[in-house]
Amino acid sequence: MKYLLFVLTFFVVTIAQSQNITDLKIQGNKKLKSSFVKKVANAKSGEVLDSVQLDEDIKLLKRLPSVSHAYYQVFPSENGDYNVFYNIEENFTIIPSFNVYTSNDGEFAYRLGVYEFNLLGQNMIFGGFYQKDIFSSYGINFRAPYLFSRQFGLAINHQDLQTLEPVFFDNTTSDYRYRNKSFEVLGLYQPNFNNRFEFGINSFLEEYEYQSGATSPDVPQALSVNKLLYKAIYKYNNLDYNYQYVSGFKSQLNIQYVTSTSDELPEFLIGWNDFNYYKRVGQRGNWATRVRLGLSSNDETPFAPFSVDNNLNIRGVGNTIDRGTGAVVLNTEYRHTLYEKGWFALQGNAFIDAGSWRNPGGDLGDFGDADNLRVFPGLGLRFIHKSIFNAIFRIDYGYGISEKDGQGLVFGIGQYF
């Protein structure tokens, strides 16, 4: 009997392995090129039919900016093998970007831009932005993750950012006009479905110009320094998307080494890791959490690299209210779909943003110092177009729980994290 079962199992496995893909067909796409889908897909005509492979392809397609939803179908072909159909629901991919930041002391800043997320039907991203934050800034970005193959791509970025930045020293504060003008080239490598690496170099000019506030003979009132930044990024992504709902885990590690031509802005090493976890809650709920852990060279400098900022980490806190050489940040929120019909969905969310920073030249005990801790609970709304990539208009209001903290509104496009 055991021998018979072994023979039957061997026969079934052999038959299953002989079932190949006669043809891989792409349906429903308009702007997205079928040749691109076949280039990034694991499944190929003439190869063995593998449901695990098909599932991975669909998860990959749903992550693409050009795809709002995707699924596959399998039908027998005339030769006894199978035809596989990838059915695509496309996103509209020429997207304006819009972010506004306010705080209780009247600060106001905005960023306007437009991006094409499916250039030439190849899922290449190209666009730029204009920012007004006291001073004018701009940026131009090009990113083609699959430019050369499923594994290899390229990114090129240029920006000229100018802002009014607080500089902290001797328990006082000064305002400096800060400028960062940079050119960056990155090589992109994706060895498999879940993992991606980026390596590159950034050449930039960094300038500080005193505007107002306290002064000190030990703190220069003007700096202009050319720098080189060497960058390495590792991303692990196991997220699964179903329109506005996300589930799974994502991690991104950034390591940067910056050289300098001035002792006033010395060379330094910086690294941080973002851990993101998403979980579906019932039919309409989504719990989302991000934890950021970061450290840099611990120079006692007023120009420390980690900042406390509305747009980056703590909603409602204000525009760059503090700096440090280390950061521990938690963002957690519950998103609930209040209304959904056709292409439109309305989400409400309740969040808590909290973080602490290490003072320049300080020690790890600074993370437990009450003066460095910020906790901002809040509420928000999300207006979502389900067929336009990242078409999520968000409004968040955060309120600080300590007496020294304020409150503020944060507007933007896309989920906060």
Distance of CA 388 to the CA centre of its chain: 18
Q: Which of the listed CATH numbers 3.40.50.1860, 3.40.50.300, 3.40.47.10, 3.10.20.310 matches domain 2-90?
A: 3.10.20.310
3-class secondary-structure state, position 5? helix
Query: Are the beta carbons of 175 and 167 closer than 8 angstroms?
Result: yes
3-class secondary-structure state, position 81? coil
pTM here is 0.79
Distance of CA 225 to the CA centre of its chain: 29
Q: Which CATH architecture has domain 94-413?
A: Beta Barrel (2.40)
What's 366's DSSP letter?
Answer: G
Domain segments of the chain as ranges:
2-90, 94-413
Query: pLDDT per position in the chain (417 positions), as tens?
Result: 544 444 434 443 444 455 899 999 999 999 999 999 999 999 999 899 999 999 999 999 999 999 999 999 999 998 889 999 999 999 999 988 887 766 555 667 788 999 999 999 999 999 999 998 889 999 999 999 999 998 999 999 999 999 888 787 777 888 899 999 999 999 999 998 899 999 999 999 999 999 998 888 888 899 899 999 999 999 999 998 888 999 999 999 999 999 988 877 788 899 999 999 999 999 999 999 999 999 999 988 777 888 888 878 999 887 767 788 999 999 999 999 999 999 999 999 999 999 999 998 889 999 988 888 999 999 999 999 988 888 899 999 999 998 778 888 888 888 999
Distance of CA 88 to the CA centre of its chain: 24
3-class secondary-structure state, position 35? helix
Contacts of 282 (CB under 8 A, 6+ apart): none
